[in-house]
Structure 1
Amino acid sequence: MTAEARPNNAPVSNQPGRSRKAAIEEMIRVDHAGEYGAVRIYEGQLAVLRHVPGKEELVAKLEHMAKDEEVHLARFNELVNEREVRPTALAPVWHVAGFALGAATALLGEKAAHACTAAVEEVIDQHYQAQVERLAQMGEDERQLRDTIEQFRLEEVAHRDEAIASGAEEAPAYPLLSGAIKAACRLAIRLSEKA
């Protein structure tokens, strides 16, 4: 039997189990990184806005959303351990970048903070939806992961909708701000999948 004919020498991409495992690992890695970044964004926003008089209602909304993100991160921490997934090497970058994004948008004002939430959550909605569809194609073995991601997606959509209802689109230079944040989120997703 030649090397080309042996199944064990087949490229990894042609081995369904290996490519599926790699795909799941990438999903968990990037989602773990994303939820960590989201927690840091809210920490940055709250660090600024907790000290602004008259922003108690806004702070309460942000604290509620931050708690959702902390629950999401806790679950992905569990999945990283259960599935033995290597977390992203970029966590120190997301630690600083997430906080900086949150603080910067909060310093620009309440509407800019909401614009940040709306932009981030729009990208995450699309990202999680694509993952849910991919996991559905993998069958019932990944139903629990699919259901978890779908539940989190719906919570992220609720955050986006609340941010829009609170005036996100009224932020100064909203299209520019929103577009820049979305582009940064998409880049972070791509980098965190592999790094």
Structure 2
Amino acid sequence: MLRVDQAGEYGATRIYAGQMAVMGDRTPAARMIAGMAAQEERHRRHFDAMIAARGVRPTLLQPIWDVAGFWLGAATAAIGPEAAMACTAAIETEIDNHYREQLEQLGDSDPELSEAIAEFRAEEIEHRDQALAAGAERAPAYPVLSAAIRLGCRAAIALSKRI
């Protein structure tokens, strides 16, 4: 669980870095993204510390998530602010589902990990809701864009669990 969660938070920081590289920091959408990025960085640092403390090997796919995340962020931002928000809404929908499933699996077996996942899940849901309120569904070809990003997110989760 730690391996895939750390990989996901790392990927999120790279997506937001790509979006900010294209959008800059002067628009309301860019300022919203910067705030989300700061939270994702805090999540990543927390999981980094847990991985180190528990001796868990990070995913070997991290170099791929580094590049893929940045380019997904840059590409969606290049389409426009609504597409950048659509990316966030799609990913956070999948992360909400992923974290919910993890919490169900964990039960009472690992209070430290459960607490972190529950806290971060609440923030991911907040990100999704903010993105939807900021116009995610007005992005060009939103249903297709959202479905493709969600599929990619599920694939990244599955691969990071195993590799």
TM-score (norm 1): 0.82
Distance 2:121 2:84 in 1: 20
Give the aligned partner of residue 39 of structure 1.
13
Q: CA deviation at 1:144?
A: 1.6
Distance 1:56 1:117 in 2: 17
Q: Is the 8 A contact 2:29 2:134 kept in 1?
A: no
Question: In the alignment, which of 164, 174, 188 is matched to residue 132 of structure 2?
Answer: 164
Q: Which amino acid aligns with 2:157?
A: I
Distance 1:133 1:79 in 2: 20
Q: Which amino acid aligns with 1:36?
A: Y
Distance 2:83 2:9 in 1: 20
Q: Secondary structure at the match of 2:110?
A: helix
Question: In the alignment, which of 52, 65, 86 is matched to residue 81 of structure 1?
Answer: 52
Give the aligned partner of residue 65 of structure 1.
36
Q: Which amino acid aligns with 1:149?
A: I
Give the aligned partner of residue 118 of structure 2.
150
Q: Secondary structure at the match of 1:76?
A: helix
Q: CA deviation at 1:56?
A: 2.4
Alignment gaps of 5+ in structure 2: none
Give the aligned partner of residue 180 of structure 1.
148
Distance 2:33 2:160 in 1: 25
Give the alignment's Cα RMSD to 1 decimal. 0.9
Give the aligned partner of residue 80 of structure 2.
109
Give the aligned partner of residue 157 of structure 2.
189
Alignment gaps of 5+ in structure 1: 1-26
Q: CA deviation at 1:59?
A: 1.5
Consecutive aligned runs of 4 or more in structure 1 exceeding 4 Å deviation: none
Q: Secondary structure at the match of 2:52?
A: helix
Q: CA deviation at 1:187?
A: 0.2
Give the aligned partner of residue 56 of structure 1.
27
Deviations 1:104-129 (A, max 9, x none): 00000010000000000000000000
Deviations 1:145-180 (A, max 9, x none): 101100000000000000000000010100000000
Q: Secondary structure at the match of 1:99?
A: helix
Deviations 1:122-144 (A, max 9, x none): 000000000011111xx2x4112
Q: Which has the larger radius of gyration?
A: 1
Q: Which amino acid aligns with 2:12?
A: A
